[in-house]
Structure 1
């Protein structure tokens, strides 16, 4: 691979032309007339050697070859000279990169270095890939100038810094908003590849999975919430769970239990309230609680395996590697806090290793190897099925669970998973989970990475 560093040219006599200056050896490898590409930006250029630029083997991140461009060219291409890049070339084109976009949500706090900790952790592999990594939001795109006003990772300062940046060639989607489809609408114009490009809500995901013969046995019976559907399910199951179609991390959940004929106990995790209502008040409660307006689903409450009376579930991180293959990069179990039913780490859940959770729940005779293999098989089947949808996915956080009879249940699939529990359980696994999308992004952008056999630092 060819490592390069871009410098501003001091050669004023040809500064009005688009000249790429470099060493004698590299200039001989590049055509004298060609196109220079950086992200979605490109310029027609001439390549010339400059005797003052020393030769380099170009194979070392820390001793890259030097290319010089005029200040006007650097500004036109929006190149950040603090970065170390890879260089790929053909008979007609020179590409500098990779230029990767990290699409975030609209929360204002993403525009601060301290709030980009997870992305900073992912940059621990920067010396393997180099390039320009851009953290941006929908509202930071200037469609007329075809640029982004966002943050880029500066490997010199180890910080995310603000700048005017090029439109990337690959976008790793880490956030969603009301304008979820804009990345797809502009795919042809910008020719960018976007992975995790759509997010199915819980009902859409159920509809995708229910016809799969291998996965259907693991799906809880799911219906859209109406007053009638809720009462009908409560006739068959004394306890049900209401989930908002579009929220994750346990937000918005309510559990309803039939305590006695005509009486319901409500555990509202939106406000951490629990109370009892009569059946005559039920429809009014659903209306005033905005369950019907917000489009909830309803499922029977599963009698999950527990540890000391608290339920737990299983988070599986599935990611595509640089060879475009699905791999399982991590399995963690999440134990709900005492007296709570929600297992998410963000709600106070505790992370456990799979074998530890299985033994605490079922005893030391449990066949943890078999269960681990089953979890891998279920997760891989899900990923293969999602590839058939025609959308571009490369990362899922799958939530599975075991009930008291060791039956598997598929709870949820997230295209924006969080990894807090893994960071507590195993730092190396956490790093690999952070690094994998960076390697995948680099690969589909048309660049390689160094040290493929060892991505952990």
Structure 2
């Protein structure tokens, strides 16, 4: 059983309220938990005189060293025990590490450049001239303590002619220049201050606000969004901090009220930004200190041009003040602590990253890499490039999850599959990874060749050749296959290639010149990696496969036979790389990419199937198959546009309409320009026109849904992301309280 020790500077756990939450959640998770201070550590006996919560009280117990330590105390108050904590760190993993104060974080982000554009120009004040120079340039500035918390000690200064307006808390005072200099000099005597231009986010009613982005590591060691919420200042205040009388709100209604049509995109932007920044900051922490981080709180604002600015980053933000998320925060921390205890090699990888980074810095300048894969990358490092008309992202997610069971693996972010993204990935691959899984997207001839020029894969997967982007290839799927073949031609010619034997269009791939090993996957034909006994389960698929002469049963937590192919692609590569069946089985329990056949279980037995990222004929039919397979009562299909089909649009829309009739769908609804062609085909095939609808107005569509949806319905919403079909998912989830 895993044991977690909470390290704190206070001796009495009753004065640390979150200690109770940690004790309760740990018990519920089946984890031993105790509370301790540095002075209670005995290195000779490797024991700690700790506090254990039992029968409603804290009781003193002598406990062996824990498997992992959650560092909960204030750094400045733990500084007196620096040597003890240093010795503990050498023996026991710590979940939490300081990323420094807001000034240090800003300097790091500026140095590493990726997020530099979001940093507000900032200077430490050494002399008063700095403040006046900022006032000339920006008119209004914020003068704040470098280690300030909760909005305290901030002065907002505006130049108004020959005088200055200074706002502190809710009070505004006029100053002459000598008076202002005297005020600031007095403050500078108390500590270090910085100056910044004042970036102001204001609601329609004139109240100042910002957003708190709270992200954590979960039980799989992955970054997740705990919550994003706005903080609104009271009238007259410039500081949207809860401790200064501000208040919070739920994100979605706030965005709907303030930003209307931009609300959903802004929500996605904030969530993506928070996760990307967390991963970036952790990479910096690993490179500089060989440490990982597990939780950050980021305060951001929006200027009048809707540009995001980082106000500050806190490395241990605490629980959100509302929304009843205290236990969610603690649960993530406890589960991550368990993950870290059970995967100590993860920490070893962080330390290795530091060593690699240090070695790079110490190399002569002429040896430093520029844009291509750095020389420091392991020469035998597997680099897997994935392309295909469908399934790229899910295959990538499956494979990365398997490889991470024992290797430090770089995985391209969701939707990061352009050549510009590949250029960024080329730089990141210097950071001590043992494998890389990349997604090579394309809409035109020559794009994949450019991907391979930037990073040449040693192994490749072509998931399938379908009709995505076929309109850019004169409606000829063979030309699409030739463009996909650029991956085969551009990879290591003696590497490993995986192709789909069931996909007839893959026969058009150019394989003659390839000298490497070809592995095939299939479900309906014999292949090197064939799945059989494929079955739908409530939240995923089961199937069997033979690996190394033994039959094993596998489960993937995503619906659809087409996703079995994606899993097979990953299995083929992992098996070739000598991952064990158990490691493969564990890795297939992956974190599913968002909005890909995501299920929402709602009240009244209603089920929503969200498949609103991409839409092409293969994907639409696959989603309809899922609807038919899991629905227990009425089957409702809401189908949006399929884009870039060119001259094939009419024929492919006709096939979808006929497939709707073939699969006995009960209600068929289309949305978008010319999608009524699907309705016409369904009706011609014998579909009852009374159960068929077409819309180009989403509000009208939603009005209908509110009238016709019944208890027990299963509803598929399928459409390309540019058609914003997710708005319909959100409408139904809100209407029926999706879980």
TM-score of the aligned structures, taking structure 2 as reference length: 0.42
Change (3 A) 1:126 1:220: same
- Correspondent of 1:442 among 294, 315, 338: 338
Say whether 1:282 aligns with 2:186. Answer: no
| Number of the residue aligned with 1:259 | 160
Query: In structure 2, what is the Cα distance between the partners aligned to 1:124 and 1:411?
Result: 34
Shift of 1:147: 4.7
Shift of 1:164: 4.5
Question: Could you list the runs of 5+ residues in structure 1 that have no partner in the other structure?
Answer: 1-85, 87-97
Query: In structure 2, what is the Cα distance between the partners aligned to 1:332 and 1:308?
Result: 18
Change (3 A) 1:371 1:117: same
Comparing 136-145 with 332-341, greater Cα deviation is found at 136-145
Asked whether the 8 Å contact 1:333–1:357 carries over to 2, the reply is yes
| Number of the residue aligned with 1:376 | 271
* Structure 2 counterparts to residues 173-188 of structure 1, below 5 A: 173-178=71-76, 179-180=78-79, 182=83, 185-187=86-88
* Structure 2 counterparts to residues 108-147 of structure 1, below 5 A: 111-113=12-14, 115-138=15-38, 141=41, 147=47
- Correspondent of 1:333 among 230, 234, 251: 230
- Correspondent of 2:328 among 414, 418, 432: 432
Change (3 A) 1:173 1:243: farther
Query: In structure 2, what is the Cα distance between the partners aligned to 1:304 and 1:285?
Result: 27
Shift of 1:112: 4.8
Shift of 1:120: 2.2
Change (3 A) 1:338 1:122: farther
Shift of 1:312: 1.2
Residue deviations 1:186-217, cap 9 Å, x none? 1465x011122224111110011124444222
Larger radius of gyration: 2
Asked whether the 8 Å contact 1:100–1:441 carries over to 2, the reply is yes
Change (3 A) 1:357 1:187: same
Change (3 A) 1:257 1:384: same
Residue deviations 1:257-292, cap 9 Å, x none? 22332x2222234xx654332112333322222x25
1:323 alignment partner, SS class = coil
Change (3 A) 1:140 1:251: farther
- Correspondent of 2:318 among 412, 415, 418: 418
| Number of the residue aligned with 2:134 | 233
Moved over 6 A (4+): none
| Number of the residue aligned with 2:508 | none
Change (3 A) 1:282 1:144: farther
1:367 alignment partner, SS class = helix
Residue deviations 1:137-185, cap 9 Å, x none? 445556676554553333x32x444445444331212232334455762
2:75 alignment partner, SS class = coil
Say whether 1:244 aligns with 2:145. Answer: yes
Greater relative CO (CA pairs within 8 A, separation 6+):
1
Change (3 A) 1:196 1:338: same
Asked whether the 8 Å contact 1:184–1:197 carries over to 2, the reply is no
Query: In structure 2, what is the Cα distance between the partners aligned to 1:267 and 1:144?
Result: 56
1:441 alignment partner, SS class = helix
Shift of 1:393: 0.2
Query: In structure 2, what is the Cα distance between the partners aligned to 1:188 and 1:117?
Result: 25
| Number of the residue aligned with 1:172 | 70
